[in-house]
Amino acid sequence: MTELVVRRLLVDMESPIPRHWCDGDAFRTALFDALSMSFPVGEQFFIDSVRGGFKALPPGQQQRFESEVQGFIGQEATHRRLHSLYNGHLEKLGLRNEWEPRARERLRLMQGVDIRHWLAITAANEHFTAIMADWMLRNADLLGDRDPRLATLWLWHSAEESEHKCTAFDLYQALGGNHEWRVRWFRRITFIFLADVLRQTASNLRQDGTLWRWSTWKSAASHLFGRRGLVRQTFRPWKAYLRRDFHPAQQDSGASARWLAENQARFAPVGR
Ligand SMILES: [Fe+2]
Ligand SMILES: [Fe+2]
């Protein structure tokens, strides 16, 4: 069982966001903005899955998960709130969120479906989030210093994603979820997630007028496939999820623990 602390982030999300807040780089800004656009609806689904999974547990097992589930819900609810404020600034910059309505439409199909499917989808997304979070924490300089608030927001979110990466997975297993469905959903989610993130990133760049610049494509190639690229550095941990004996705790959380220990002045733990 993991002890999950809910933290209030001490950043001001009222003042506007600079257009290319991420180190002046149009591609990285568009990519991270796209991810932020998916969070409010996605994280609500994760909360609903975990809450539903917890309720479906036999009472004898609920005690084991109670405090972890509370922490998970508190962390994700806080992420949702801050990313909604962040997304409000993106709207003012003229960016249209096309990912959210698409995701909402798909999630409507989940009504009435066995909660283990919800949890398998959540666990797959949480694995994605956790491996990207670890990449971000280990490459924090790529966030630049044009908007320290946003850099802090991303690193705090990453640290907590890494921290709570086992919750949905453990609930899925506690409810008897099997390997075949876990892997089947992971493959589907990989396809859906990559298609969505690429579409929204391209759309952000198009709306920003930077899609067809050479510098945008050069940055995309280097930050996806270069030595420190997201795809290059997350492929192995991505693949690990397919193993029958995989568990999220097998993946290193050192970068998350370090960031939380070194940045205590940036947040206040919320009493539980
Ligand atoms: Fe989150
Ligand atoms: Fe999460």
Helix, strand counts (H, E) of the chain: 10, 2
Q: Write the pLDDT tens digit of every residue in 47-85.
A: 999 999 999 999 989 999 999 999 999 999 999 999 999
Going by C-alpha positions, the residue among 166, 185, 174, 171 that lies closest to residue 75 is 166
In one letter, which amino acid is 105? E
The pLDDT-based confidence of 3 (bands split at 50, 70, 90) is confident
CA 129 to centroid of ligand 2, rounded, Å = 7
Going by C-alpha positions, the residue among 135, 151, 124 that lies closest to residue 263 is 151
Residues with CB under 5 A from ligand 1 (ion): 76, 79
Q: Write the pLDDT tens digit of every residue in 180-192.
A: 999 999 999 999 9
Q: Write the pLDDT tens digit of every residue in 214-264.
A: 999 999 999 999 999 999 999 999 999 999 999 999 999 999 999 999 999
**Residue range 28-33: average pLDDT?**
98
CA 234 to centroid of ligand 1, rounded, Å = 18
Determine the pLDDT at residue 271: 72
Task: Return all residues near 81 (Cβ < 8 A) that are at least 6 apart.
Answer: none
Determine the pLDDT at residue 62: 95
H runs (alpha helix) in 139-178: 148-163, 167-174
Whether this prediction's pTM lies above 0.75 is answered by yes
Ligand nearest to the CA of 38: 1
Instruction: Identify the bridge partners of residue 177 per DSSP, sorted by sequence position.
Output: none
Three-state secondary structure along 118-138?
Answer: HHHHHHHHHHHHHHHHHHHHH
Ligand nearest to the CA of 165: 2
